[in-house]
Amino acid sequence: MSEPTNFFEQAPDAPEIAARFPDLHPPFNKTVALTEANRCLYCFDAPCTAACPTHIDVPRFIKKIASGNMDGSAKTILDANILGASCARACPVAVLCEGACVMHRYNRQPIAIARLQRFAMDSLYESGALLPFSSGADTGKSVALIGGGPASLACAAELRRRGIRAEIFDAQPLPGGLNTYGIAEYKLPLAESLREIDMLAQLGVQFHFDVTVDAKMLGELEASHDAVFLGLGLGAIHKLGIVGESLAGVTNALDYIADYKSGKITSAPAHVAVIGAGNTAIDAANAAARLGASEVHIVYRRGPEQMSAFAYEYENSKLEGVRFLWHTQPVSINGNGIVESLRLAKLDDSLLPKPEEDFDIPVDLVILAIGQSTHTEFLADDNIKLDHGRILIDRATGQTSNPKYFSGGDCTNSGREVVDAVADGKRAGVGIAAWLEEQHANA
């Protein structure tokens, strides 16, 4: 049964979380937005547009802000990226559009593209306007989309605009995938993720929640739909494989972020250690600091040059008070039924432990953030080629080795950015529509 689409109203009321996680980049008011929009050179062959995985026409949407055409600005954004509101908040713009801005050539600040994009989308919400386009004429075709994250949402939007029925099946109680459950609240609040999906639902996308699709159900969906899109994301965060990992007080970064965003947890214990140094690890460490931990350590077996987190995330985390233990790895987690301390080993240049330099730090909570596994085993009998659990696709169309199946997002790229998943879903939606049309022509 399809769920109701007033998702925004289902966001938990957690004033304490809202107070502790204000916007990392506060929104522009109208005066500031107009001033910033008028700084743009409106480049003809804009490098910012080329740098955006969804290729939003950045000069066009900014020029519309400058001229006061807010609806037109939002439409320009949404035509290219149906999740333009969340990407405005969560994208690593310093290495994408703003990183490519021509202003860098003149030693000037790049145009604040993300904040202008957010201004346009917030203006659309505040106006109460509907999505600036509608679903296409019904083709009689349908697609089942497995997973409710950004790739599936973008794919569903493209399908609906072409008159193809789109049904999303997700194991969680709310849609959005990592946008809803896994991105730090100060970047993308849970309520904002759900509000964006409410707008997308105006296209007639159908949602089915608390549904875990296994091999049997996948076969049934394949039989009852004209195509299947796999937007599975990634699976559980890897374990350390050390003594004490089953103690109370050991969790993983995705669960930790989801729990505080939902209001399930509202405070952190005094001493927290996060294992790993990617962007998700940084988000979890910053969250612990904001939730009241007096001491937060990130433990990483390599040096800062090798960390996968973006440099600006690292710098921001230091401002949050997070401490970094480089060339260090956990040996054991110690405690009597509950975590009390973490035994750590220093590593040499060859990443070999130096036992004589083992040391302990007091810890009340250990958060694992050392990468995620895949969960594509149930696809083995569907003629879908995998590479170490990653679904192999034609990057131009999203089609897998089984022509009826398409895919995109983290399950195909091992984990990148929200905007990359949106771009994958968008391409797959177009690819599915073209394939269905070809099948009909050849029938």
Write down the mean pLDDT value for the chain: 94
Instruction: Sort strands 390-391 and 323-325 into parallel, antiparallel or unpaired.
Output: unpaired
- State yes or no: pLDDT of 3 exceeds 80: no
Q: Which residues pair with 273 in a beta bridge?
A: 297, 366
- pLDDT per residue as tens digits for the range 273-325: 999 999 999 999 999 999 999 999 999 999 999 999 999 999 999 999 999 99
Task: Report whether pLDDT(2) > 80.
Answer: no
Please determine, for residue 343, whether its predicted confidence score (pLDDT) is greater than 60.
yes
Provide φ and ψ at 168, rounded to 5°: -100, 130
- Is pLDDT above 90 for 9? no
Confidence of residue 5 (pLDDT cuts 50, 70, 90): low
Give the mean model confidence (pLDDT) for residues 326-348.
97
Nearest alpha carbon to residue 333 among 238, 247, 237: 247
Q: For the chain, which domains are there?
A: 15-127 (1.10.1060.10), 142-235+373-442 (3.50.50.60), 250-368 (3.50.50.60)
Q: Residue 357 in contact with residue 338, Cβ under 8 Å?
A: no
Q: Which residue blocks in 100-237 are alpha helix, DSSP H?
A: 113-127, 150-161, 178-181, 190-200, 215-224
Q: What is the pLDDT of residue 20?
A: 87
Q: What is the mean pLDDT of residues 340-365?
A: 94
Write b or e for each residue in 90-117: b if 16 or more Cβ atoms lie within 10 A of its Cβ, otherwise e: bbbbeebbbebbeeeeeeeebbbbbbbb
The 8 Å CB, 24+ separation contacts for 102-111 are 102/41, 102/43, 102/47, 103/39, 103/41, 111/36, 111/39, 111/40, 111/48, 111/62
